[in-house]
Structures are given as C-alpha cells and as structure tokens.
Amino acid sequence: MCEVPRAKEAKLDPPSRTFERRALRIPLRSSITLEADLCLPAASRGIVLFAHGSGSSRFSPRNRQVAESLNEAKLATLLVDLLTSDEEAVDERTRELRFDIDMLADRLVGLTDWLCDYEPAAGLRIGYFGASTGAGAALVAAAQRPDAVHAVVSRGGRPDLAGPALERVRAPTLLIVGGNDGPVIDMNWQALAVLRGEKRLSLVPGATHLFEEPEALGAVSKLARDWFRDHLDPSRSTKK
C-alpha cells in the first residue's frame, strides 16, 4: 500500500455528468511539489499519466489534444509538470534537466505511488503516455513499477534513453513515430527489438517529429486511445 502526502486541489470547473477537472499540487517524498491537471470522466475505465518531452509542460497543445481523445473514451488523464517552476527557469538556460532521465523517471514513480492512494482514481489501471525524452523516462519508470503500470505509449519518443531498463519493461508498449522522422524511426526499431513484453511500432505516414501535419496528431490520438482501452479497461483486457 502506498503512503504518500495528499495533494492540494482545486476544481477547475463544476462537476458535470461527463467530466470532472481538478488542478492539483502533488507533493512527492523528495520534498518537491508538482503542478498537475486531472480530468476524470464519469465511470473512468483507466488513467493515463503524461510524461512531457524536452522543453514542454502540461500545457502542451499536442498532449492536451491526445488527452481529450482519451477522456472521450472514458480514460482519465493526469498531465503533470515534471519540473518545478524554479527548475524550469534553470532548464531554459542550461537545457540539462530535460535530459535527466533518472530524475524524471523517479518523479513518475512518485506520481504513480501517489495515484495508489488518491481516492478518486482508486482501482483504476495506470498507463503512461510519453513524448520525446519523456518516453525514455516513462519506460524507466514502468520498469520500476511493473505491477502498477499496465500500458505505455510513446509519441515521437526516445526509448533509447531508457538504456538497460528497456529489457525490464513488462507493460505492453506502443511506439508511435512519424513516417518522415528518419533518425527517430531507427531508434524506435532498435528499442522494439530490446523490449520483451507485448510491443508494437506504428508509423504515421507523412508525419514529422512533432506531428504537425494535418490529421497526423489525430492518428496518434486514435492509436493511443485504442492501445490504452485494450490494456487499461478491465472489461476489454479480460477478453484478450
């Protein structure tokens, strides 16, 4: 049983029949507090924790578009700033913290443990959605919490940054890469060969690294939605 401090929270808007949204300040054991936005659809079938990429935040429009698609599929989402505001200021100058995969993974582990005791999400299966460098951190964290993390999706990710942790990942993992993102495609094929559990690599035709092309991000959202529904929703995963 996880024992972690309770988060301070404020509702962003009144509860509706469809979604409940909360702004959270989540304290971790490392004596830091992270800002997060939670969306809980009615009768949620699972929850997805987002690990943002280099230089990004919980306000990433791309990740928010994916999160909205998951919410429509009755999957809760937790978008978190993995760096504090002071750390973000340092990272803007040095660009070092965004590549500190071990630190970012440790924070994802802390957030995962926190979710174990967070009553509104109690009992929901947890998945990770990692973008760019955040995908490397998500895979490291998944390797450290094999019993808690039930699925991982990487968007334009750098799974190679997970290093030897890749071999220990047991969560079903989907790697999504733009069809025109040459070097990253190679990195993902190499990572796919190392992963030992259920795995898949999906190329989005014509898309580049940020999936800015028309309909590219929509394709990402559909792939991620289907993967998480299959592995987080107990009514679907038990039929596999």
Question: What pLDDT is recorded for position 75?
Answer: 97
Question: What pLDDT is recorded for position 13?
Answer: 43
Question: What pLDDT is recorded for position 87?
Answer: 85
User: If you ran DSSP here, which 8-state letter would residue 6 be given?
Assistant: P
Q: Which phi and psi angles does 93 have, rounded to 5°?
A: -85, -40
- Where does 73-131 have alpha helices with state H? 85-94, 101-117
Question: What pLDDT is recorded for position 110?
Answer: 96
- Determine contact, residues 121/47, Cβ cutoff 8 Å: yes
Question: What pLDDT is recorded for position 4?
Answer: 41
Amino acid sitting at position 57: S
- Determine contact, residues 153/227, Cβ cutoff 8 Å: yes
Question: What pLDDT is recorded for position 23?
Answer: 95
Question: What pLDDT is recorded for position 11?
Answer: 44
Q: What number of other Cβ atoms are within 10 A of residue 37's Cβ?
A: 19
For the chain, residues with pLDDT lower than 50 are: 1-5, 10-16, 239-240
Question: What pLDDT is recorded for position 207?
Answer: 96
Q: Average per-residue pLDDT in the chain?
A: 89
The token pair at 157 is 């990710």
Q: What number of other Cβ atoms are within 10 A of residue 225's Cβ?
A: 19
Question: What pLDDT is recorded for position 192?
Answer: 98
* Residue 194: alpha-carbon gap to chain centroid: 20
Distance (Å, whole) CA 27 – CA 90: 21
User: If you ran DSSP here, which 8-state letter would residue 194 be given?
Assistant: H
The token pair at 52 is 């943002």
User: How far from 230 is each of 53, 121, 176, 192, 227, CA to CA, in Å?
Assistant: 25, 19, 16, 20, 5
pTM of the full structure: 0.89
Question: What pLDDT is recorded for position 223?
Answer: 98
The dihedral built from the CA positions of residue 11, 149, 154 and 110, taken in this order, carries a sign that is: positive
